[in-house]
Structure 1
Amino acid sequence: MDRGAEGGRAEHSPEELFHGHPEGLAVYGAVERAIHAIGDAAVAVTKSQIAFRRRRGFAFVWRPGQYVQSDVPAVLSIALPYEIASVRFKAVAHPSRRVWMHHLELSAPDQVDDEVCEWLREAYELADP
């Protein structure tokens, strides 16, 4: 996967984003492996998130503790052009006419299971139609 700088910003690493939070880094690693098993995607790491992109972003991993009081090590946000109904999502937002953002709190790498991998596959395929 290509780890390029995003929009000219200084490049960061997943280790920097999850510094002091090994559980979050482990969750990120599981997401990265799942996406790599699907296909190639660019990876952009900023000070607030790790974005996986094809023609457009389709998956984002971030640490909620940066913004609010939270014990959750990582959140995986999956962008799709439609809403998926699942009790596993902490929240689903509709930030634009064509995007539904599905936010999944992950506490451990093994939570990146077959169901999550299928959602990632859908998002991956639709990110470069």
Structure 2
Amino acid sequence: MEKILRKLPEAEPADSQRLLFFEPHPDALPIYEVLEQKILKDIPGVRVKFQKTQISFYNKHMFACASFMRVRKKKDCPEPFLVVTFSLPHQVVSPRIDVATEPYPGRWTHHVLTASKEEIDDELMEWIREAAAFSDRK
């Protein structure tokens, strides 16, 4: 990773931000790349914002994000992992949902711990597409 970071000034700003975000967890980058690729392919007009603790996906509002937030005890987290978070107007009940909370009426935030590229599948993408449509209606 050190050699890559030395080349950051030559990289595109988004590429630099992506590399810095994944510096502590480089093995999770392939999971994120599949997530980003599918979101950008499936949902028109998405903006991606890199922050210190998460990467957020926006249309009219934020509808999903990727982070390393602990949703399980450390000993129960696989390596690598990436937490995908999305909001919907209803609770999704699924064994894949690690945490679901209702921060205010009519908005449920769901956290899904993903451990491989294969877990960025049709089911997860359907929830994310629904979250984007929900966000766009606000």
TM exceeding 0.5: yes
Larger gyration radius, structure 1 or structure 2: 2
Asked if the contact 1:24/1:63 (under 8 Å) is kept, the reply is no
Secondary structure at 2:136 match in 1: coil
Asked if the contact 1:42/1:54 (under 8 Å) is kept, the reply is yes
Displacement, 1:46? 0.5
Q: Does 1:93 align with 2:97?
A: no
Instruction: Give the counterpart letter for 2:38 in structure 1.
Output: A
Displacement, 1:14? 2.1
Displacement, 1:28? 1.2
Q: Does 1:59 align with 2:59?
A: no
Q: Does 1:113 align with 2:116?
A: no
Displacement, 1:95? 1.3
Asked if the contact 1:23/1:107 (under 8 Å) is kept, the reply is no
Displacement, 1:107? 0.5
- More displaced 10-residue stretch of structure 1: 11-20 or 90-99: 11-20
Q: Percent identity?
A: 27
**How big is the alpha-carbon RMSD for the aligned residues of Structure 1 and Structure 2?**
1.9
The CA distance in 2 between the partners of 1:99 and 1:37, in whole Å, is: 25
Instruction: Give the counterpart letter for 1:106 in structure 2.
Output: T
Task: String of CA shifts for 1:16-45, please: whole Å, max 9, x gaps.
Answer: 111142232111111111111112211111
Aligned to 2:40: 36
- How many positions carry a matched residue from both structures? 117
Gaps of 5+ in 1: 1-10
If each structure's helix is expressed as a fraction of its own residues, which one has the higher value?
A: 2
Aligned to 2:51: 46
Asked if the contact 1:24/1:74 (under 8 Å) is kept, the reply is yes
The CA distance in 2 between the partners of 1:108 and 1:45, in whole Å, is: 21
Aligned to 1:104: 112
**Structure 1 moving runs of 4+ over 2 Å:** 68-72
